[in-house]
């Protein structure tokens, strides 16, 4: 896969800190809290809630999962990665997918990438058990295998629960 990096558009970059504060309010955490506390709050918020025996809760028609949840919560996640691990926001273009462009946070050597907005949206829309906290804990413990520099490996594609929670 061929991926290139561009700077995040200035207006988008300027909106990320405010959106992260909004995301913190949504998940019920101080945006300056310890990174592990923030990751736990994000993970808990994204975890599907049951409204009966093995039933998906009815979606709130007044909430848009992309605008109202995924963007602010993803900004909180990304800003926490930037603050805690020294990662950076980037606009990545995947050239073998019709030049698909998405905002990500990337580590220093660009071997890893997380697409927090898309990941949060996918969890919310599909009632998927998140691995946000697991990925953070694996990074913190140095348990992520080395990846190719400038390879932009999507970290969340490789972090899976051995036994699904629940």
The domain ranges of the chain are 3-48+59-158
54: left (phi over 0), alpha (psi -120 to 50) or beta: left
CA distance 113 to 138: 14
Alpha helix (H) residue ranges in the chain: 10-27, 35-46, 71-85, 116-126, 132-140, 155-158
Encode 99-125: b = buried (16+ Cβ within 10 Å), e = exposed. eeeebbbbbeebbbbbbbbbbbbbbbe
Q: Cβ neighbours of residue 149 under 8 Å, at least 6 residues apart? A: 109, 110, 111
Task: Give the β-pairing of 112-114 and 100-106.
Answer: antiparallel
Q: Residue 50 — φ and ψ, nearest 5°?
A: -90, 140
Helix (H, G, I), strand (E, B) or coil at 63: coil
Asked whether residue 52 carries a pLDDT value surpassing 60, the answer given is: no
pLDDT tens by residue, 114-160:
999 999 999 999 888 899 999 999 999 999 999 999 999 999 998 76
Alpha-carbon separation of residue 147 from 3, 85, 112, 154 (angstroms): 14, 16, 7, 10
**pLDDT interval class at 55 (50, 70, 90):** very low
Fold of 3-48+59-158: 1.20.120
More confident residue, 126 or 98: 126
pTM score: 0.90
């Amino acid at each position: 896969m061929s991926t290139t990096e561009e700077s995040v558009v200035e207006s988008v970059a300027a909106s990320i800190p405010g959106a992260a504060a909004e995301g913190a309010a949504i998940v019920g955490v101080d945006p300056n809290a310890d990174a592990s506390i923030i990751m736990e709050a994000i993970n808990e918020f994204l975890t599907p809630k049951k409204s009966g025996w093995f039933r998906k809760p009815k979606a709130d028609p007044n909430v848009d999962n992309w605008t109202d949840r995924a963007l602010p919560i993803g900004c909180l996640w990304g800003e926490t990665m930037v603050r805690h691990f020294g990662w950076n926001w980037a606009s990545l273009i995947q050239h073998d997918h019709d030049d698909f462009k998405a905002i990500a946070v990337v580590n220093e050597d660009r071997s890893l990438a997380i697409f927090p907005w898309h990941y949060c949206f996918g969890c919310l829309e599909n009632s998927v058990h998140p691995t946000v906290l697991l990925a953070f804990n694996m990074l913190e413990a140095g348990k992520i295998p080395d990846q190719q520099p400038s390879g932009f490996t999507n970290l969340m594609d490789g972090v899976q629960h051995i036994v699904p929670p629940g």
